[in-house]
Structure 1
């Protein structure tokens, strides 16, 4: 652990907060960490799982004793708590989804700029080795011109009490697909359903058109067949998959199974106006496996590097909070109006 490592406050000690604690311990930062959760049961459970964890007496005391905050509380609390952290002059790692609506992201952007604070959004899949390997292949031109990006983040699991499929699941790929494509989403046509009758969308299908003309699709929900045991939610079955297709290659990445399958090749003209595929056999792309603790540790290490250099993170508030929120806002409007709608400019 560097002698000048910042003092960190973990705000929110629930299930994913405990993943953060494991990641912080793996980084050798346990002595620099305080925890606080307004729910005493969550704080007690975290302390039982991580006996080294020191708990702050309250939020104000925790903020006074730290240099930066990791915010992993329920989604509806993010905007207000993030603003409190920034007003206290602390840098912030803000778990996804950063906010519920784009207007909240804009307010936090203004506040962070006013206070000169660094904010990184915890966008899990950006730090997964397979997503990073796929992005590198796209950037070097291995896929040619992209025409399709799709993500499935769905399965059979509990419906969170604080959010539906858009904020809990679809947000991952509302960020990841444009990040991979290197182009923003321009238009969205969405259909949302409430199969549990609880007043939230627990099933969401988003059709996307990117600014460069590529098409996309996001499926999200907690009421669909899963395929693999979920690495974070005990007893849940999940699918966490993306597919990318371009003029020179096709790929499928299954994050739950840790597979990355690539086929290089093109459709070639044939007799009678047909085009036939001439693709090489599937190859397995070498990219390390990574569980939740390793991925979160990579996110936090990047955050600490940004703090040390006082530079903006790749997944800052504009890229990691505002842009995904604009896509999800457009999805809500589309579902309500029954038509494709343009994504607002950032």
Structure 2
């Protein structure tokens, strides 16, 4: 492991909650907080919302993994692949062996620089997209409302699909291990399109790769005598899988979207894992009163759910049009109501 001389962590609230410990108030951060709603990126949200955010997340894109595998990704303005995978024969266009240090070293450098720049204020989160979500982008050629092409692959070419998903998962493992070596203190896997699969198809195609990632990242870190870090899985829309993910997934934290009540989520997962979430991001457009009401209700629901850690967050990423001062109000409300 590189001999990084990182500053001492001053706020470990997020890490304690991720391990299932009760905290004086719920640690809070927001998916895409280092994103387009602010004129600043990774470090600046921590400065702008001084004392209100309990984590920083690296400013990156999940599609750096397909890029590392040899695919071209364009932003115009959303992500698109000019040469997507059309049939399994196209898999031959992907790089046989991916050297993440060579292909994604710039991400690792950014993580190290950011970790030092944070000066121990809050932990730094590293992340990657989940194999099924990345697979879908690589085949659809961009975003899709139906995922018809990607799902057709699963049904028409199930074995080839599983092999490609596992190949993507192996690159994700290398990428996440590299992020920990570079300074990430918690890891999150985003399966943004998990809810587009039926429970059967999720179990067959997505779940095995999610388990592979959690198992292999922990094994690799252990073999290299690197202290493990908490791992979070956000499988958006896959609330049907929460119980199974808590029992089998191998993650410390499960992220929730806004389509499940926290009490029900805690009933499904027991006290095996911490939970993260889950306010509808669009409430941030509803005005201060709506934000306060919703945060209060969310805090009460997570408290009513009983044991296990809770990390306050939105139920998906913050969107570009949010007023940064309404984001501040959300954070202030979380501090106020989660401490009661």
What TM-score bracket applies, with the shorter chain setting the length? under 0.3
> Between Structure 1 and Structure 2, which shows a larger proportion of strand residues?
1
> Between Structure 1 and Structure 2, which shows a larger proportion of helix residues?
2
TM (normalized to structure 2)?
Answer: 0.27
